[in-house]
Amino acid sequence: PVKVTKICCIGAGYVGGPTCAVIALKCPHITVTIVDLNQARVDAWNSPDFKLPIYEPGLEEVVREARGRNLFFSTDVDKGILEADLIFVSVNTPTKKSGVGAGFAADLNYVELATRRIAQVATSSKIVVEKSTVPCRTAESMRTILEANSKPNCHFDILSNPEFLAEGTAITDLFAPDRVLIGSLQTPEGISACASLTEVYANWVPKDRILNVGLWSSELSKLAANAMLAQRISSINALSAICEATGANIDEVAHAIGYDTRIGPKFLKASVGFGGSCFQKDILNLVYLSESLHLPEVAAYWRQVVEMNEHQKRRFSKRVVDTMFNTITGKRIAVLGFAFKADTGDTRESAAITLIRDFQSEKAYVNVYDPQVVEEQIWTDLAEASPLVPEEQIKKQVRICKSAMEACKDAEAVVIATEWKEFNEINWEEVYQSMNKPAFVFDGRLLVDAEKLRNIGFKVVTIGRP
């Protein structure tokens, strides 16, 4: 197997940045260059005061140690490709917005452009690694493109190495992954390329956690893992609706079923709905794949996971309106949290966006506060969520606040949309004093101590409780 000494990563996003920064940290003998077309993003990665483009606990320390030593960020994609012996393709693969498969299929345009660039620029053999989440058999298309466009004497081996990190815990996930999955063709060349990448990870990951499988299994496993994780959340959220109607308590139910070692206790937190850039996109991708394979029942099965999630968000907004005497027109609602989960500034598919859109269409006023999300992002997301509402109208109804306290002042209701730890440390007595009465708290994250809040005087509504 080739001994890897130079790695290039195409795509300096949520995955490429942290993943390859950790490879650089753990492998000081390997030079890692992360390239991206987005100048502003690369500048932020290179910023002298470490104002990195993404917020991720522990990331700054990693970049501080490795940047300039064997970790580099650049917009010179071609130079990165030319010099590397192994190239990660870690570009975005969003859901297609138009054309065939719109709304379901993954948009593979960025993967294809990156692949074509590799073929055009490379003057020596490379191992090309699919890091992006892609539909099953994408590696085949990549190989066809590479082989049709390469120079003589350039040979490309393609590996699939999907990433399982979760945002907010990316660095701990990368330091101690449950597993690293590497898929390759089961040919001598494929197996040898797989050994090269295995050696890179073996610098810090125990060998028995590095799984070598076939290329197609690897690609499909990524979609399967996300589909099954999301399915767990939709299952617990479906049960939360039954709890609200019956008097059962979803936390107790989750606790009780999680004790079964076959089910396990993790990832059973009922919520206002899952968000993030991956779950919905990857399930829809699986739905599309199933349909293309003429498996409509399989497609319908997975589609239901996303539909249940949509239902959960709608159900929650409706419960807010119903509880507040069937109208929130003209009322002020404080939404705490805008990110799709705690410990990230990422807002992609965040449930908060849907909730605020719903509150806006009920003609409520919304105060929003999030500790990490930048103001500009909130405006962009809200504008995209209500394309028919003029920007001035949105700005009239929504105010972005600098603290939870400021957001709650003079509000009639507080809605907890993200489970930021600091929302637990709020001085609720003070919040209560500053609010209009009756003061409601809607906990979409099972975060606060409902009893304590009731004792202060709040009317508390919690997901999965009557």
How far is it, in rounded angstroms, from Cα 109 to Cα 204? 33
Query: Of 147-166, which residues contact ligand UDX (CB under 6 A)?
Result: 163-166
Does residue 278 have an active-site annotation? Answer: yes
Catalytic residue (one of 136, 278, 401, 408): 278
Least distance in angstroms from the C-beta of 280 to ligand NAD: 11
Picked from ligand NAD, ligand UDX, none, the partner binding residue 233 (CB below 5 to 8 A depending on kind) is ligand UDX
The structure tokens 């490879």 sit at 23
Long-range contacts of 118-122 (CB under 8 A, 24+ apart): 118/10, 118/81, 118/87, 118/89, 118/146, 118/156, 119/145, 119/146, 119/148, 119/149, 119/150, 119/156, 120/149, 121/77, 121/78, 121/81, 121/82, 122/81, 122/82, 122/150, 122/151, 122/154, 122/156
- Member of 132, 138, 160, 237 binding ligand NAD (CB under 6 A): 132
DSSP 435: S
Query: Of 233-252, which residues contact ligand UDX (CB under 6 A)?
Result: 233
| For ligand NAD, the closer CB: 13 or 101 | 13
271 binds ligand UDX (CB under 6 A): yes
415 binds ligand NAD (CB under 6 A): no
Cis peptide before 94 (omega within 30 of 0): no
| For ligand UDX, the closer CB: 106 or 435 | 106
Confirm whether residue 164 is marked as ligand binding. yes
313 binds ligand NAD (CB under 6 A): no
Closest by Cα among 243, 246, 244, 245 to 256? 243
163 binds ligand NAD (CB under 6 A): yes
How far is it, in rounded angstroms, from Cα 39 to Cα 250? 46
296 sits in the region (left: phi over 0; alpha: psi -120 to 50; else beta) called alpha
In the chain, the N- to C-terminal Cα span, in Å, equals 61
- Member of 275, 337, 345, 444 binding ligand UDX (CB under 6 A): 275
How far is it, in rounded angstroms, from Cα 465 to Cα 251? 9
Least distance in angstroms from the C-beta of 64 to ligand UDX: 23
267 binds ligand UDX (CB under 6 A): yes
CA distances from 270 to 3, 29, 342, 460 (A): 46, 45, 15, 16
306 binds ligand UDX (CB under 6 A): no
Contact 10, 89 (CB under 8 A): yes
Query: Of 279-298, which residues contact ligand UDX (CB under 6 A)?
Result: 279
- Member of 167, 343, 349, 412 binding ligand NAD (CB under 6 A): 167
Least distance in angstroms from the C-beta of 233 to ligand UDX: 5
398-400, strands of its sheet edge to edge: 398-400, 365-369, 332-336, 413-416, 440-443, 459-462
Q: State the amino acid at position 255 in one-letter form.
A: H
373 binds ligand UDX (CB under 6 A): no
Confirm whether residue 225 is marked as ligand binding. yes
| For ligand UDX, the closer CB: 70 or 226 | 226
36 binds ligand NAD (CB under 6 A): yes
337 binds ligand NAD (CB under 6 A): no
Q: Which residues are annotated as a binding site?
A: 11-16, 36, 41, 91-95, 132-133, 163-167, 222-226, 262, 269-275, 278-281, 340-341, 348, 445
Active site amino acids: 278
Binding positions for ligand UDX, rule: CB under 6 A:
163-167, 226, 229, 233, 267-269, 271, 274-276, 278-279, 340-341
Q: Which residues are annotated as a binding site for substrate?
A: 163-167, 222-226, 262, 269-275, 340-341, 445
Q: Which residues are annotated as a binding site for NAD(+)?
A: 11-16, 36, 41, 91-95, 132-133, 167, 278-281, 348
